[in-house]
Amino acid sequence: MIKKTITTLSLVCLALGIHAESKYLTVEMKEGAKFSFLLADKPVITCQSGSLVVNKDAKTTYAFEGVKNYHFTENNEGSSGGTTKVEESYSQLLQIVWIDNETVEVQNAQPNLTVSLVTINGTVLSQTKADADGKATISISNEAGVYVLSTGNQSFKIIRK
């Protein structure tokens, strides 16, 4: 009986000793890029309209078809030596960047790709084509509402509050 108790306690202590504390939520993409979110920031994961959404300081959305998995890790897998793996692997993928409160820039688009901003009613508010560098700038009104930014075969929902 004592031998069994000591063995059980030893196994429990061993299990506690080898347990690594998870500090990050990592979203791994099929292309190999990884995005890590610090758990201390209390990110919230939800599934909305065919996308994995991580809410932290900002809302980050990943299309399900591009997500390989998401898991908890001890280390920040999304960065290496000050430059993120995301920057390295996503430097050629389409990016949507807020320039200021009223301007969105599409980067890394195909030259001459049509970029449009549409209301949920279908009214086209703005339309432009990407330049030779793959950049297109769209102005978004300050009015509250739901808008759709369309870039070829991809669409992004923008909610103004």
Res. 83: pLDDT tops 90: no
Mean pLDDT for the chain overall? 76
CA pair distance 54, 37, nearest whole angstrom: 9
Which listed CATH number (2.60.40.10, 3.40.50.200, 3.90.1150.10, 3.90.330.10) goes with 94-161? Answer: 2.60.40.10
Q: pLDDT tens, 104-121? A: 888 888 899 999 999 989
Q: What is the DSSP letter of 110?
A: P
| Buried residues in 126-148 as b, exposed as e (16+ CB within 10 A) | bebebeeebbbebebeeeeeebe
CA pair distance 5, 150, nearest whole angstrom: 64
Which strands sit side by side in the sheet containing 95-100, from one edge to the other?
A: 95-100, 103-107, 136-139
Res. 10: pLDDT tops 70: no
pTM: 0.45
Q: Does domain 20-89 have CATH number 3.20.20?
A: no
Q: How confident is the model at residue 3 (pLDDT cuts 50, 70, 90)?
A: low
CA pair distance 22, 137, nearest whole angstrom: 40
Q: Give me the mean pLDDT over the 17-36 stretch.
A: 73
Give the residue extent of every domain in the chain: 20-89, 94-161
Q: pLDDT tens, 48-69? A: 777 778 775 566 788 878 888 8
| pLDDT, greater one: 79 or 42 | 42
Q: How confident is the model at residue 80 (pLDDT cuts 50, 70, 90)?
A: very low
| pLDDT, greater one: 124 or 36 | 124
Pairing of strands 114-119, 145-151: antiparallel
Tokens, residue 98: 């807020």
What percentage of residues in the chain have a pLDDT greater than 70? 75
CA pair distance 99, 87, nearest whole angstrom: 18
Res. 133: pLDDT tops 80: yes
Question: What pLDDT score was predicted for residue 5?
Answer: 54
